[in-house]
Amino acid sequence: MLPRLRLDLGAPAPPSLLGLFPHTVSHVWLEIGFGAGEHLAWQAEANPQVGLIGCEPYVNGVAALLGALEDRQLANVRVWDGDAREVLDWLDDASVDRVFILHPDPWPKLRHHKRRLISPETLHTLARVMAPGAELRVATDIGDYARSTLEAVEVSDGFRWTAECADDWRARAPDWPQTRYEKKARSEGREAIYLSFRRV
């Protein structure tokens, strides 16, 4: 399945990403680091009118997602089994309507913080590829990562945090299923933090 579903980054991005999918879709969403793919497969099944692009460099996670797509006969997913930054560089401006970054590697040691995915530089790139009004969803069970994400957004002119009350970041939205990483974090006594940002 992978050769059929893998993005062809050697060719220019199509004039519309909607054409990447075999049936008509109205929006395109992107998940960066989909892990074992349970969230991505859930979104694909719940939103057949949406085309989803998933990026994950680890072969076991890609294999798990492909198995789920085959079992559920889902055709609205395309995959990149490499560095998501390559996809971000490939995408045209304002071509994506929602982005998910769920439980990224926290790189907890201070000297490794520069390796964290969410940074002012990444947000600048995301602002370019996301359409005005598009949503960026971030989940983490590491308080320091949530804080550094909010700090990066604060200095960005591309996104606005949508939270209006504590429950907006303490509780998952109904269309935000739990991932195995979140389940593991909860079993180890860590609560997840759910951040939603709007592209301005």
Query: Catalytic residue numbers?
Result: 105
H helical segments located in the chain: 2-5, 38-46, 59-72, 84-90, 120-129, 143-154, 167-170, 180-187
First to last CA, the chain: 37
Q: Are 44 and 76 in contact (CB under 8 A)?
A: yes
Please name which of 92, 68, 93 lies closest in space to residue 79, comparing C-alpha atoms: 68
Q: Are 60 and 66 in contact (CB under 8 A)?
A: no
- Give, in order, the Cα–Cα distances in Å from 104 to each of 31, 119, 141: 11, 12, 10
Q: Collapse the DSSP code of 163 into the 3-class scheme (helix H, G, I; strand E, B; otherwise coil) and give the result.
A: coil
Q: In what order do the strands lie in the sheet with 96-102?
A: 77-80, 50-55, 27-32, 96-102, 130-140, 193-199, 159-161
164 Cβ partners below 8 Å, 6+ apart?
none
Distance between CA atoms of residues 30 and 131, nearest Å: 12
